C-alpha cells in the first residue's frame, strides 16, 4: 500500500438548522486504500460524503485532495479535480444508450465543443467493458437489470480517471452473486491506486473490502480502526445492539392459541429493479408483541409500508381475515392497522393537542376524551406539552407524540417503525417503560421494527430477523440472544 | 452523436422542405398566411423545448423573450427607420440581454419559482408597454413602416426558410455533446455536477440560445404582420399556445415541438367557423393529449422503439 495521502478531511462540521449532521469529522484515505464509513440512518455518513463531493458546503473544516484545499468548491470543480461518486440512486438518460451515458461522463465542460473528441467513443467502450457492460452497449437504461445500472454508474464515476472514488451503499439492492462481482470491481479500483470511500449502514457489508473503518453515530465519530477493532468496539456495539441484551419473561404464554391477526404470505417488493423484500412470510397473533429486528436497509420499513398499502407488492397480506391488497392506505388505517412511521410525520406547525385530535377524528367525542385521558396517563409529558407546537418538541417527545397519535386511532394492530432512531439512551428508557405499560394495560397487538436489539427484545413475544430482504431467523427473544447475538453486527 | 441526422430523418426533412416550398403554387393567399404564422410559432415552440425539454426549466414566459425581440425591432423601425436586418439583430440582442437579466437571478431559485419569475416577467413587459404607450402604441399596438414583403408567397418562403434553418440549428444542438450535457443537467443536476459539469453555465447557455431564437422569430413575425401588438406577441395566451404546441408535439424532440405548434395554429384556423367553441375544442384536444400521451405526438411515436 502506498503511503501517500490522497484525501485528507479535518474537522468537518455541517449543521442543518439546529441539527448537527456532522461534528468534527476527520479522516485520511491513502492511494490504494479503501475506507469504510459506517453508521445507522441519520448518523451523518451521507452528509460527510456530500461534504467531500461539494454537494453540501461544510460549515467548518477542511478537505484536501493531494494537498489542495477543496472545501467550499462547487462539486463540478471537485469532480474535475479528481473525485468521482457512485450514487445509490441515479437518473440516467433514458433516451440514450449505455454507451452514450458513459460518453456523457467523458465530455469536456465546454459550451463550444459540439462534437465529442475523437477518442471518446473508444474510451467509453473500454470503460463499459471494464465494468462488465460490454454486451449491453447499445441497450437503453430502462431495459437493464438493476445491477447493470449500478455498473453504468460506476463506469460514469471512473470515466474521468478520478483519484478518489466515493461509493454510496455499494451493495444495496444487489443479490449475493452480484455483490461478489461488485466487490471485485471495487478491489480493482484499489489496485489501480485510487483512494476509495465506501459509505454503508454497517460493518458487515464492507468488512471484506475495507482496509479501515470509521464509524459514526448522531454526527459524531465513535470509532476508527481495522474491521475487527471497530466490530469489537464497545460504543459501536452499543449503537447497533444497544448494550447487553436482556429478556423479560412474558407471563401468560397464551398467544400460541390465538388466531393470527396479521398474516403475510410470500410478500415481495421491488423498487424499480432493486428487490427490497423477498418472499416474506410472517404471522402476528392477536394480542402478541412481535419484533422484527434487522439493520438499516434490511427491508423493515418496506415491509411495514406494504402492510399499510403504501408500496405495491406481490404476495398476500391478510388482516383479521380480510385481504388488504387493493385497499387504499386510508381504508387500511381505518380497518385497524395503524403505522407509526420511522419519520414520525408529525404536523410540525400544529400543537401537541391538535396532532392528537387529528388522530382521533374518527372517534365520537366521548370516546376521544377517554382515549386522550388514557394517553396522557401513558405519556405524562405530552399532557404538560399540550399547547406546544410539535416542531419544537425534543426528539423523544416527538416520538411519544407520534405513538400517541397512532394510538388515538384505537388501532387493533400498532405498527411501530424504528421508534428509537436518533434518540438518546435516557429517552429510550422512558419509551421502553411506556411500551411496557401499553402492553400490560391493553389488548393491543404490536408489530415493532428495530435495529436496536436491546430495545426490541424485552417486550417481544416473538422475534423475526430480517436480513437483505429476507427473514432469516424466527424464534423467542431468549433464543435470539443465545443464537444470534454475536453474529448480528 | 456522430450521426446527428440519420438517413431517415434527412429524407423526411428533404421531403418536407420540397413539399412545403412548392405549396404556394396551389394554395390561396389566406392559407399561406396561416402557414406563415404557424411556421414562426414552430420556431417559438422549438426554442421553448430546448429550455424545457433539455435544460429541464419551465419557462412560462416565452412571450417575454419574443416580445422583447418584437418590440425592440418595431420601435427601431418605427422611430429611427433602421433597415430590417439591423432591427432584427437588435431585437435578438434585446431578447438575449433581457433573458440573461431574468435568468441569472432566476436560475438560483429552485423548483417552481423559476417558472413563476418568468411568468411575472411577461406581465411586467406587458404593463411597461401599456405605460409607455406614447412610444409603443400601448394596447392598440404599433405599425411598422417596413414589411418583409407584400407578396404572401415571398413571406411564406421567408418563414419556411427561417423555420428550416432554426430547426437544423436547434435540432443539431440538441443532438450534440452540449445537448447531452444539457439533458443530464435537466434530469439530475447533482449528478451532472458530480460528473464535472457546471450546470448553471449550461442552463444559462440554453436560456441564451432560446432567447436568441425567440427574439429573432418575434422580430421577423412583426415584419410579416406589419404591426406589433401585445395581443399577438406578448399576451400570456400566446405563451400558453407556444407551450401547448411544444408539449403536444413531444417534449425533448425539438422537431416535435415545431410540428405541434404548426398543428395547433392550423387547427385553430380550421375550426374558426365554430366561433367561441373553437378555442374550447383546441384546448380540450390539447388537454387530452397531455393527459393520455404526456410524451406528445412525436415522443409517443419514438417511444416504442426505445423500449425494444
- CATH number, domain with residue B279: 1.10.3470
Q: Give start-end residues of each CATH 3.40.50.300 domain in chain A.
A: 5-241, 255-483
B 199-228: CB under 8 A from A: 199, 201-202, 205
Looking at the structure of chain B, the number of domains it has is 1
Q: How many C-beta atoms lie closer than 10 Å to residue A28's C-beta? A: 15
Residue B304 domain-assigned (yes or no): no
Residue B62 and residue B58: Cα distance in Å, rounded? Answer: 10
Q: Is A115 on the interface with B (CB under 8 A)?
A: yes
Q: Is A437 on the interface with B (CB under 8 A)?
A: no
With beta carbons under 8 A apart, name residues in chain B contacting A121: 2
Residue written as cell 463550444? A112
With beta carbons under 8 A apart, name residues in chain B contacting A53: 194
CATH fold of A255-483: Rossmann fold (3.40.50)
Residue B10 domain-assigned (yes or no): no
Residue A88 and residue A86: Cα distance in Å, rounded? Answer: 7
With beta carbons under 8 A apart, name residues in chain B contacting A116: 1, 177
Residue B18 domain-assigned (yes or no): no
- Our CA-based measurement puts residue A94 at a distance from the nearest CA of chain B, in whole angstroms, of 9
Residue B174 domain-assigned (yes or no): yes
Residue A270 and residue A311: Cα distance in Å, rounded? Answer: 9
Residue among A53, A103, A109 minimizing CB distance to B197 = A109
Residue written as cell 418496506? A302
- Quick one: closest CA in B to A91, which residue? B188
Residue among A79, A94, A104 minimizing CB distance to B194 = A79
**Cβ–Cβ < 8 Å for A404, A382:** yes
A 142-161: CB under 8 A from B: 142-143, 156, 159-160
Best B107, B168, B195 residue to mutate vs chain A (most A CBs within 10 Å): B195
Cα→Cα distances B280→B35, B245, B247, B258, Å: 21, 15, 18, 22
- Quick one: closest CA in B to A142, which residue? B307
pLDDT in tens, chain A (489 residues): 456 899 999 999 998 766 788 999 999 999 999 999 988 766 888 889 999 999 999 999 999 999 999 999 999 999 999 999 998 777 788 888 899 999 999 988 888 877 777 888 899 999 999 998 988 888 888 888 888 888 999 999 998 899 999 998 888 777 777 888 899 999 999 999 999 999 987 777 788 899 999 998 888 898 899 988 888 888 887 776 655 555 555 544 444 567 888 999 999 988 877 788 889 999 898 888 899 988 777 888 899 999 999 889 999 899 988 888 888 998 898 888 999 888 788 888 888 999 998 888 888 888 888 889 988 988 888 888 888 888 777 777 888 899 999 998 888 999 999 888 767 666 777 788 888 888 888 888 999 998 878 788 888 888 998 888 888 888 888 787 777 655 565
**Cβ–Cβ < 8 Å for B223, B78:** no
Best B193, B301, B306 residue to mutate vs chain A (most A CBs within 10 Å): B193
Q: Do B193 and A76 touch (CB under 8 A)?
A: yes
| DSSP bridge partners of A416 | A340, A448
Q: Give the domain extent around B70.
A: 31-299
Q: What angle do CA A89, A93, A97 make, to 5 degrees?
A: 115
Q: Do B198 and A74 touch (CB under 8 A)?
A: yes
Residue B211 domain-assigned (yes or no): yes
Q: How many C-beta atoms lie closer than 10 Å to residue A336's C-beta? A: 18
Put simply, whether the predicted model's pTM sits higher than 0.95 gets the answer no
Residue A303 and residue A297: Cα distance in Å, rounded? Answer: 11
Q: Is A85 on the interface with B (CB under 8 A)?
A: yes
Residues with Cβ within 8 Å of residue A481, at least 6 apart in sequence:
A245, A247, A457
- Quick one: closest CA in B to A93, which residue? B184
Residue B1 domain-assigned (yes or no): no
Q: Are strands A314-319 and A470-475 parallel, antiparallel or unpaired?
A: unpaired
CATH fold of A5-241: Rossmann fold (3.40.50)
Amino acid at each position: 500500500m502506498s503511503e501517500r495521502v490522497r484525501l485528507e478531511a479535518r474537522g468537518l462540521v455541517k449543521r442543518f438548522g439546529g441539527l448537527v449532521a456532522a461534528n468534527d469529522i476527520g479522516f485520511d484515505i491513502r492511494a490504494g486504500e479503501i475506507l469504510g464509513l459506517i453508521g445507522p440512518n441519520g448518523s451523518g455518513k451521507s452528509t460527510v460524503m456530500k461534504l467531500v463531493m461539494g454537494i453540501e458546503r461544510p460549515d467548518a473544516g477542511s478537505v484536501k485532495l493531494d494537498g489542495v484545499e477543496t472545501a467550499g468548491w462547487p462539486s463540478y470543480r471537485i469532480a474535475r479535480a479528481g473525485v468521482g461518486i457512485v450514487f445509490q440512486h441515479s437518473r440516467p438518460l433514458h433516451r440514450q444508450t449505455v454507451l452514450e451515458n458513459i460518453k456523457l461522463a467523458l465530455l469536456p465542460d465546454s459550451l463550444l465543443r459540439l462534437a465529442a473528441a475523437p477518442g471518446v467513443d473508444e474510451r467509453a467502450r473500454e470503460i463499459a467493458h471494464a465494468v462488465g457492460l460490454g454486451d449491453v452497449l447499445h441497450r437503453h437504461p430502462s431495459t437493464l437489470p438493476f445491477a447493470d445500472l449500478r455498473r453504468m454508474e460506476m463506469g460514469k464515476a471512473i470515466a474521468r480517471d478520478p483519484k478518489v472514488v466515493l461509493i454510496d451503499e455499494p451493495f444495496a439492492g444487489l443479490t449475493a452473486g452480484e455483490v461478489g462481482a461488485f466487490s471485485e470491481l471495487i478491489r480493482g479500483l484499489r489496485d489501480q491506486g485510487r483512494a476509495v470511500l465506501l459509505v454503508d449502514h454497517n460493518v458487515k457489508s464492507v468488512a471484506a473490502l475495507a482496509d479501515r473503518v470509521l464509524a459514526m453515530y448522531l454526527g459524531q465519530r465513535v470509532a476508527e480502526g481495522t474491521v475487527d477493532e471497530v466490530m469489537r468496539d464497545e460504543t459501536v456495539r452499543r449503537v447497533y445492539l444497544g448494550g447487553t441484551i436482556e429478556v423479560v419473561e412474558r407471563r401468560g404464554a397464551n398467544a400460541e392459541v390465538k388466531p393470527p391477526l396479521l398474516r403475510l404470505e410470500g410478500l415481495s417488493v421491488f423498487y424499480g429493479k432493486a428487490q427490497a423484500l423477498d418472499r416474506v412470510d410472517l404471522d402476528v397473533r392477536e394480542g402478541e408483541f412481535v419484533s422484527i429486528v434487522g439493520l438499516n436497509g434490511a427491508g423493515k420499513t418496506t415491509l411495514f409500508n406494504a402492510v399499510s398499502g403504501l408500496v405495491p407488492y406481490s404476495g398476500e397480506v391478510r388482516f383479521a381475515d380480510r385481504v388488504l391488497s387493493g385497499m387504499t392506505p386510508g381504508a387500511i388505517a381505518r380497518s385497524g392497522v395503524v403505522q407509526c412511521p420511522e419519520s414520525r410525520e408529525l404536523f410540525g406547525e400544529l400543537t401537541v393537542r391538535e396532532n392528537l385530535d387529528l388522530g382521533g377524528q374518527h372517534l365520537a367525542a366521548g370516546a376521544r376524551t377517554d382515549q386522550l385521558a388514557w394517553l396522557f396517563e401513558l405519556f405524562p409529558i405530552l399532557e404538560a406539552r399540550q399547547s406546544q407546537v410539535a416542531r419544537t418538541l425534543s426528539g423523544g417527545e416527538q416520538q411519544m407524540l407520534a405513538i400517541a397519535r397512532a394510538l388515538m386511532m384505537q388501532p387493533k394492530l400498532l405498527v411501530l417503525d424504528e421508534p428509537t432512531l436518533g434518540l438518546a439512551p435516557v429517552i429510550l428508557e422512558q419509551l421502553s417503560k411506556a411500551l411496557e405499560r401499553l402492553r400490560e394495560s391493553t389488548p393491543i397487538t404490536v408489530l415493532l421494527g428495530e435495529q436496536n436489539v436491546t430495545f426490541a427484545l424485552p417486550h417481544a413475544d416473538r422475534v423475526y430477523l430480517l436480513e437483505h430482504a429476507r427473514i432469516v431467523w424466527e424464534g423467542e427473544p431468549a433464543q435470539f440472544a443465545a443464537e444470534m447475538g454475536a453474529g448480528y453486527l | 452523436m456522430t450521426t446527428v441526422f440519420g438517413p431517415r430523418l434527412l429524407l423526411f426533412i428533404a421531403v418536407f422542405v420540397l413539399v412545403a416550398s412548392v405549396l404556394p403554387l396551389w394554395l390561396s393567399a389566406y392559407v399561406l398566411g396561416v402557414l406563415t404564422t404557424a411556421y414562426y410559432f414552430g420556431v417559438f415552440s422549438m426554442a421553448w423545448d430546448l429550455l424545457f425539454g433539455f435544460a429541464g426549466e419551465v419557462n412560462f414566459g416565452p412571450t417575454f423573450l419574443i416580445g422583447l425581440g418584437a418590440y425592440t425591432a418595431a420601435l427601431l423601425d418605427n422611430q429611427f427607420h433602421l433597415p430590417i436586418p439591423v432591427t432584427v439583430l437588435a431585437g435578438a440582442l434585446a431578447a438575449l440581454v433581457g433573458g440573461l437579466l431574468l435568468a441569472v437571478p432566476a436560475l438560483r431559485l429552485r423548483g417552481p419559482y423559476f417558472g413563476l419569475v418568468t411568468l411575472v416577467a411577461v406581465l411586467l413587459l406587458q404593463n411597461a408597454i401599456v405605460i409607455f404607450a406614447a412610444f409603443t402604441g400601448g394596447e392598440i399596438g404599433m405599425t411598422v413602416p417596413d414589411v418583409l414583403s407584400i407578396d404572401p408567397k415571398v413571406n411564406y418562403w421567408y418563414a419556411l426558410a427561417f423555420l428550416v434553418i432554426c430547426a437544423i440549428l436547434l435540432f443539431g444542438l440538441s443532438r450534440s455533446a452540449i445537448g447531452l450535457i444539457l439533458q443530464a443537467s435537466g434530469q439530475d443536476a447533482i449528478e451532472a455536477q458530480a460528473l464535472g459539469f457546471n450546470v448553471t453555465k449550461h442552463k444559462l447557455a440554453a436560456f441564451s440560445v432560446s432567447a436568441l431564437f425567440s427574439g429573432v422569430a418575434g422580430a421577423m413575425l412583426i415584419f410579416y404582420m406589419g404591426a406589433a401588438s401585445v395581443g399577438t406577441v406578448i399576451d400570456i395566451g400566446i405563451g400558453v399556445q407556444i407551450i401547448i404546441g411544444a408539449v403536444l408535439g413531444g417534449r425533448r424532440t425539438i422537431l416535435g415541438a415545431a410540428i405541434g405548434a404548426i398543428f395547433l395554429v392550423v387547427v385553430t384556423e380550421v375550426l374558426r367557423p365554430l366561433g367561441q367553441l373553437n378555442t374550447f375544442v383546441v384546448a380540450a384536444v390539447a388537454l387530452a393529449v397531455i393527459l393520455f400521451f404526456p410524451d406528445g405526438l412525436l415522443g409517443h411515436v419514438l417511444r416504442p422503439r426505445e423500449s425494444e
